[in-house]
Amino acid sequence: MDRFVFLTLDGLSRGAVYAAFALALVLIWRAARVVNFAQGAMAVAAAYVAYSVASATGSYWLGFVVALATGLLLGAIVDRAVMRYVDHTSPLNPVIVALGLVLLIQAVLGMIYGSEFRPAEAPFSRGAFTVGGLAVLSPYDLFVFGAVAVVVCALAWIFARTAVGLRMRAAAFAPEVSRLLGVNVGGMLTLGWALASGVGALAAMLVIPTELGLHPHAMDLVFVSAFTAAVVGGLDSPPGAVVGGLVVGLLLSYVSGYAGSDLTPLAVLVLLLAVLLVRPGGLFAPVAARRV
């Protein structure tokens, strides 16, 4: 029972990160109908920048802020400099271009930093509190929950309550009508990319200290898990992405705790296939809400 509680809490903490990363995927999917396969590489790049800043200044938090800023900027650049010029008539094209970016970003990171694992610093202790002899969350887990909760709430507020959020949603659902109503659709798209990439950078900053460390490929498996989370929730649904992230986090934690951590990649693949074959729209697919 103790173990179950521990694994559940640990899974939720991991899941929170997957939720953030999945949310980033869903943001771009909704805005541009593109699954950003380069998001993992972009997020790692932001984390490397944070690493450089933190080692130069000795301040984790300065690096943290710079990582988020780098994420935002990188998203905007990828949209403005590359994705805008992709022929979207075939859905293959943006995917292939994103994969080209993956190769490029990972290569550049490899050239600058090399491909050995670099230890990533955690700003809080990762040792768990014990309550009545039961190991529960660590301070770092609480930080992860807090950071993800802040981001999720901030995004929900932006999209539901602000004028720019309304513009972004309108631009995503009906670009041509939105332009007729004075919405700068291209600008909204760039903003969407920037926000998503910023959230991705945050997720990378949160997850990398809990894994092997910084590496150009550090987010590959995280990407697959987060993609699975997004698919579990339905690619179109931001709340679905959050729930999907927690589901995937719990599953991986149980599999690794009860069956061995080597099996987690296989578990992700099986879950992904199962969801896609049984409920391709995701577990929380909304009733057909298409514009007429």
Partner 1 sequence: MSERGDLLVVRDLVAGYGAAPVLHAVDLTVPAGTIAAVVGANGAGKTTLLRTISGVLRPQAGRIELAGEDLRGVPVERLVHRGMAHVPEGRGVIGELSVDENLRLGGLWRRDRADAARALDEVYQLFEPLARRRRHLGHQLSGGERQMLALGRALVGRPRLLLLDEPSLGLAPRVVARTMALLRQLRDGTGLTVLLVEQNVRSALSVADQGVVMSLGRVVTTAPATALRDDVDLRHAYLGF
Partner 2 sequence: MSATSAATPPRERTTGVAGGPGGPRRRGSTLLRHLAVVAVAGLLLVGVSYAVEPFRNFQLATVAAYLCATAGLTVLTGLNGQLSLGHGALMATGAYTVALCQNAFYDRGVTGGLLLLVSLAAAVVATVAVGAVVGVAAARLRGPYLAGVTLAVAVVVPALTVTFDGVFNGEQGLSVPVEPPPLALGVYFPYERWQLWIAGAATLLALLLLANLVRSRYGRTFRAVRDDEVAARLAGIHVARTQVLAFVVSAATAGLGGALLAVLAQSVSPGAFGLTLSLFLLMAVVIGGLGRLTGAVWGAVMLVALPDLSHSVTEQLTLPAAAAQRLEGNLPLAIFGITLVVVMLAAPGGVQGLLSRFGRALLARWRVGRS
Residues in contact with partner 1 by CB under 8 A are 163, 166-167, 169-170, 173-174, 176-185, 289-292
Give me the least distance between CB of 231 and partner 2, in Å please: 7
CA–CA separation, 255 and 248 (whole Å): 10
Residue 14's CB is within 10 A of a number of other CB atoms, namely 27
Distance CA 193, CA 250 (A): 28
Can you tell me the distance from the alpha carbon of 31 to that of 125, in angstroms, rounded to the nearest whole number? 37
Residue whose CB is less far from partner 2, 69 or 276: 276
213: closest CA among 119, 123, 121? Answer: 119
Judged by beta carbon, residue 39 or residue 178, the one nearer partner 2 is 39
Note whether 105 and 220 are within 8 A (CB): no
Tally of CB atoms within 10 A around 203: 34
Q: In whole angstroms, how close is the CB of 237 to partner 1 at the nearest point?
A: 12
Tell me whether residue 178 or residue 256 sits nearer to partner 1 (CB atom). Answer: 178
Nearer to partner 1, 122 or 168 (CB): 168
Write out the two tokens for 179: 């332009």
Which of the choices partner 1, partner 2, none does residue 193 contact, using the CB cut-off of 5 to 8 A by kind?
A: none
- Burial of residue 133 (CB within 10 Å: 0-12, 13-18, 19+) is exposed
70 lies in the site for partner 2, by CB under 8 A: no
Residues in the site for partner 2, rule: CB under 8 A?
29, 34-35, 37, 82, 85-87, 90-93, 95-97, 99-108, 110-112, 114-115, 217, 220-221, 223-224, 227-228, 231, 235, 260, 262-263, 265-266, 268-269, 272-273, 276-277, 280
